[in-house]
Structure 1
């Protein structure tokens, strides 16, 4: 099942459109959800019963618009709708416990002007038990390509599992982007050998080792290997411009303990020009 959160905003409906298409590809049901205050869900009598009923009716209107969008674009899709009680972030995280994917829009109705990603999108990415896709806008015309950012972190295999499976599902090519920087200091505060960044062949070899065996598992997926010297955020943003989806891990090799999102995944929440898949760190 795929869960998508809606709130009545345009971004929420764009998320529904993306989630419905993904559910159709995976042949799984779509669950459209909307969160309101718990007291509004539970209050049937008393002084504020009328207000609570008004909020529930508004929630049903929002859900109906989401369901209508999904079924209009994918008539044969199985779609459920549900009002969730509580804070949207906590409610979506709970709802994702039985999902294989959670989809949200990058902005909601309460988005603060000047911020490129809303608090709900930021609040769920990296916190859910499933992978999260944040939808800003979908390309008008499919490029037939998915981009994935790679590093040498221990959980890169989980990122590649999602990226290759998604490319195979869509019949798309996979652009594997490895970014290196001569002045990088490596993971955390670990010392780096003096010659680590002196020869680009080291980076080529690292990318080859990372991708070893994947083409055998997904022979129909064309892999485009791209090695870029520079800042990861700039390189991934540029790679995403020619893609339908950008895939990153929730944590990179330099992630500090206690942080849920790494600096690159955090930045791409704000700057990815296409839907962004944030792959959870395995527990």
Structure 2
């Protein structure tokens, strides 16, 4: 296991091509951060009904298959990043519970966009959403244009902003990633007929006035980050429309989209905002979800 002072990037694997792409993506991050890459695969025994010596045989079979999945991911990683330090962890238990335990000391947890069986959205619905809602660190779902495509390696980092504390934490993470990757940051903010306070805009409101006000809000939010990252090129896009549509369209030419777990208008108790969930399921590039407090200021 890693030493107490080791930095850790965790990748959840399951033997699928999507998970291998995610592991290789996570390895690049680990190398860049000087961190250990921890490859984790969970396995669950079938429903009760097997007893006696058969239980041991079944458990050994499931564990062996899980170990093979980790070994395949490790092979893919080392073929691209031979210098990365790797830990392997195969654990019996539910995927979400295991990954939440394993990521307690991690800087980020990285997942593929779908698991074995090939059902689009299956992993998103069960694991990624739960982790993005509860993990103590940012969660990245690695996606390509098509389900089994590798993720893009070129383009800017996008940060979805709405002025909320969630989006400010996401903005800090996006700045760090863009600077580390040597690419530009594009701060994306949308506005529509609903105000940030959840009310309809007054009849006769001039659209150009709204756009100017929203741009000032974004500039105010960006000001401390421009000071902290003076060499980082930061572009601002303030557009009329819905955040999901704008980020999905712009994400087609990006290498990473970063959003908060919940934005303005989030209902108390909601685990994950609709924008975050839609991006996790449909983005053409990796998506990082940053919970409040998960990213150091």
Name the TM-score, length of structure 1 as normaliser. 0.90
Q: Deviations over 1:64-106 (max 9, x none)?
A: 1111111111111100101122111111111111101000111
Q: Where does residue 102 of structure 1 map in the other structure?
A: 109
Distance 1:31 1:208, change over 3 A: same
1:47 counterpart SS class: helix
Q: Which runs of 5+ in 2 are unaligned?
A: 1-7, 145-149
> Where do 4+ consecutive residues of structure 1 move more than 6 Å?
none
Matched, 1:179 2:190: yes
Does the CA contact (< 8 Å) of 1:112 and 1:118 recur in 2? no
Q: Deviations over 1:241-269 (max 9, x none)?
A: 11100000000011100001111111111
Please provide the CA RMSD for this pair: 2.3
Matched, 1:8 2:15: yes
Count of aligned pairs between the two proteins: 276
Does the CA contact (< 8 Å) of 1:104 and 1:133 recur in 2? yes
Q: Matches of 2:81 and 2:120 in 1, distance apart?
A: 33
Aligned equivalent of 1:220, options 214, 231, 256: 231
Q: CA deviation at 1:111?
A: 5.1
Does the CA contact (< 8 Å) of 1:246 and 1:277 recur in 2? yes
Does the CA contact (< 8 Å) of 1:111 and 1:119 recur in 2? no
Matched, 1:233 2:244: yes
Name the TM-score, length of structure 2 as normaliser. 0.86
Q: Matches of 1:141 and 1:156 in 2, distance apart?
A: 24
Q: Matches of 1:86 and 1:4 in 2, distance apart?
A: 16
Q: Deviations over 1:123-164 (max 9, x none)?
A: 322221111000122445512x10110002123321111011
Distance 1:109 1:196, change over 3 A: farther
Aligned equivalent of 2:84, options 77, 83, 95: 77
1:213 counterpart SS class: helix
User: What is the 5 A alignment of 1:1-283?
Assistant: 1-37=8-44, 46-110=53-117, 112=119, 117-137=124-144, 138-143=150-155, 145-181=156-192, 183-187=193-197, 190-191=198-199, 194=202, 198-282=209-293
1:125 counterpart SS class: helix
Q: Which runs of 5+ in 1 are unaligned?
A: none
Q: CA deviation at 1:117?
A: 3.5
2:114 counterpart SS class: coil
